[in-house]
Amino acid sequence: MTEPYELYYWPIRPGRGEFVRLVLEETGAHYVDVARLPEDEGGGFKPLLEFVQGLRPGQPAYAPPILVHGDLVLAQSAAICAYLGERHGLAPDDSGRRMQALQLQLTIADVSDEAHNTHHPINAALYYEDQKDAAREASKSFLDQRLPRFLPYFERVLERSGGEWLMGDGLTYPDLSLFQLVEGLAYAFPKGFAHVAGSTPLLLDHRNRVAQRPRIAAYLASDRRLAFNEHGIFRHYPELDLSN
């Protein structure tokens, strides 16, 4: 299939779509970020809602991001990243190693979910303003108990990988997602992140190494890159950044 890829994701937030965008950008593949097109060119929320409401044929998607590639309609950011990674040389060939790359991607997704839960502990469908007290408690627990385990975990993976990247000598798709996770945590919790990151030098080097990849650097400097904001997974609410 040589069709360009189509990505469907909420146009105003980096969110889970950003994990996919980083892989697309690193591959240099041609893709259309459909919902960010003007509405009269088929963009906006409408095409997204058609998927979520089951109005499009093919295997239903529960939620964006959704990748369309020829006849294939694929949802779930980790599955999309794995699909693209395997097609474009950003995944190991061996079946066990391929699954270990997926393992790392899923652990990154778990941390992202926990980071989202800090501002939406009661329900993702309610406003932050309606769950602020619980959010304060959840954030404190996250910063005191979870972040000091998550970041050293990835530090240990890098320490053992035998190379500059998570899986060793070659960059794979979870490297790009780890970059986004670290950037997001540093944005959401500048104090809490700094408190832990002092003891994870390999992780900070890794973040810089990803940012300096030529295609990633060009992407980060472009207007295709959505800045972090208070509509995504990683939100900066100063009242939740309760570092000890």
Please state, in angstroms and rounded to a whole number, the distance separating the CA atoms of residues 189 and 185: 6
> Using CB under 8 A, which residues numbered 74 to 93 contact a second copy?
74-76, 78-80, 82-83, 86-87
Among 12, 49, 55, 106, binds a second copy (CB under 8 A): 106
Kindly report the number of other CB atoms within 10 A of residue 53's CB atom. Answer: 9
Secondary structure letter of residue 239 according to DSSP: G
221 counts as binding a second copy under rule CB under 8 A: no
Size of the site for a second copy (CB under 8 A): 50
Q: What is the DSSP string of 97-160?
A: HHHHHHHHHHHHHHHHHHHHHHH-SS-TTS-GGGGHHHHHHHHHHIIIIIHHHHHHHHHHHHHH
123 counts as binding a second copy under rule CB under 8 A: yes
Please state, in angstroms and rounded to a whole number, the distance separating the CA atoms of residues 201 and 207: 10
Among 138, 176, 182, 233, binds a second copy (CB under 8 A): 138
Closer by beta carbon to a second copy, 95 or else 222: 95
Closest to 77 in 3D by CA, of 19, 158, 143, 11: 19
Secondary structure letter of residue 42 according to DSSP: T
240 counts as binding a second copy under rule CB under 8 A: no
142 counts as binding a second copy under rule CB under 8 A: yes
Q: How far is the CB of 57 from a second copy (least distance, A)?
A: 8
Candidates 97-105, 186-194, 208-216, 219-227; binding stretch for a second copy (CB under 8 A): 97-105
Hunting for tokens 């900070």 — which residue is that?
204
239 counts as binding a second copy under rule CB under 8 A: no
> Using CB under 8 A, which residues numbered 172 to 211 contact a second copy?
none
Q: Which residues contact 23 (CB under 8 A, 6 or more apart)?
A: 80, 81, 84, 85, 88, 90, 173, 176
Residues that bind a second copy (CB under 8 A): 54, 58-62, 69, 71-72, 74-76, 78-80, 82-83, 86-87, 95-96, 99-100, 102-104, 106-107, 110, 113, 117, 121-123, 125-126, 131, 134, 137-138, 141-142, 145-146, 150, 153, 156-157, 160-161
